[in-house]
């Protein structure tokens, strides 16, 4: 009888410990609700898997909906999305981009899968931000760009079987977004420049007086 009680106690403690770990591991990140921060449309895609049912562009466009999870399954392929002309990803303090991949921690379902993220300003030159697994964040500072408009996600999972093959991308969100930063035009402030400017202004003034 005593052995049985001890066994029950051990099982109960194990379950409580497992539950506490699950709570501690819960993802506290909150999806943004501003639609401007999310991908506007799919520019190009090459999805794998003959039985892939998650292949619609709408599955990766727009804000995250935790009640209606319909991600795009890459199936070993890739997808390129456009964030928008005036909704660029900007390089500011901290991470600048979040990729929502349906995983156990953030969504409470499915095994997290691996992919690589690239960004571009013109669809010609691409900069890698590295690999991510599950819902992950990326810093534009890891590239040579201070802003980006296009995001390319390449699947690093090799399995193309099943109805939801490879990484399952639900959304692409710019954590910092806005218009392209305008470079300030600097005005020379050297003594030589000031002297020349003063002389030209004096000559112009004399010319005006002479006309009178």
DSSP 91-145: --SS--EEEEE--TTTTSSS---EEEEEEESSSSS-EEEEEEESSEEE-GGGSS-
Confidence of residue 182 (pLDDT cuts 50, 70, 90): confident
In the prediction, which pLDDT does 29 show? 80
Choice between 32 and 10, residue whose per-residue pLDDT is larger? 32
DSSP state of 7: H
In the prediction, which pLDDT does 211 show? 54
* pLDDT at residue 197 greater than cutoff 70: no
Task: Give the highest mean pLDDT range of 3-12, 54-63, 173-182.
Answer: 54-63
Which of 93-102, 105-114, 135-144, 200-209 is least confident?
200-209
- Cα(40)–Cα(199) distance, integer angstroms: 54
Average pLDDT, the chain: 81
Task: Tell me the CA end-to-end span of the chain in Å, nearest whole number.
Answer: 118
In the prediction, which pLDDT does 110 show? 86
Among 32, 157, 156, 154, residue whose Cα is nearest residue 95: 32
How many alpha carbons lie under 13 Å from residue 95 in its C-beta half-sphere?
13
Which of 61-70, 77-86, 176-185, 200-209 is least confident?
200-209
Choice between 109 and 176, residue whose per-residue pLDDT is larger? 176
Query: Which tens digit of pLDDT belongs to each residue from 123-148?
Result: 999 999 999 999 999 999 999 999 99
Q: Kindly tell me the number of DSSP H helices and DSSP E strands found in the chain.
A: 2, 12
Which of 14-18, 57-61, 176-180 is least confident?
14-18
Number of other CB atoms surrounding residue 161 within 10 Å? 12
In the prediction, which pLDDT does 3 show? 54
pTM, to two decimals? 0.74
In the prediction, which pLDDT does 126 show? 98
Q: What is the number of residues in the chain?
A: 212
Q: Find the angle CA(173)-CA(177)-CA(179) to the nearest 5 degrees.
A: 140
């Amino acid at each position: 009888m005593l052995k049985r009680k001890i066994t029950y106690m051990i099982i109960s403690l194990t379950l409580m410990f497992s539950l506490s770990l699950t709570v501690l591991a819960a993802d506290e990140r909150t999806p943004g609700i501003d639609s401007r921060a999310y991908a506007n449309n799919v520019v190009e895609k090459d999805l794998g898997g003959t039985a892939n049912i998650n292949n619609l562009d709408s599955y990766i466009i727009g804000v995250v909906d935790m009640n209606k999870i319909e991600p795009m399954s890459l199936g070993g392929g890739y997808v390129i999305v456009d964030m928008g002309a005036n909704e660029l990803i900007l390089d500011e303090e901290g991470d600048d981009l979040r990729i929502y991949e349906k995983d156990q921690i953030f969504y409470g379902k499915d095994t997290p899968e691996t992919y690589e993220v690239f960004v571009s300003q013109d669809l010609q030159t691409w900069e890698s931000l590295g690999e991510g697994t599950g819902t992950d964040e990326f810093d534009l500072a890891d590239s040579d760009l201070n802003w980006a408009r296009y995001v390319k996600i390449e699947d690093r999972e090799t399995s193309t079987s099943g109805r939801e093959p490879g990484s399952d991308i639900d959304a692409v969100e710019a954590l910092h977004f806005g218009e392209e930063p305008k470079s300030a035009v600097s005005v020379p402030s050297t003594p030589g420049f000031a002297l020349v400017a003063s002389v030209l202004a004096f000559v112009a003034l004399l010319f005006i007086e002479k006309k009178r």
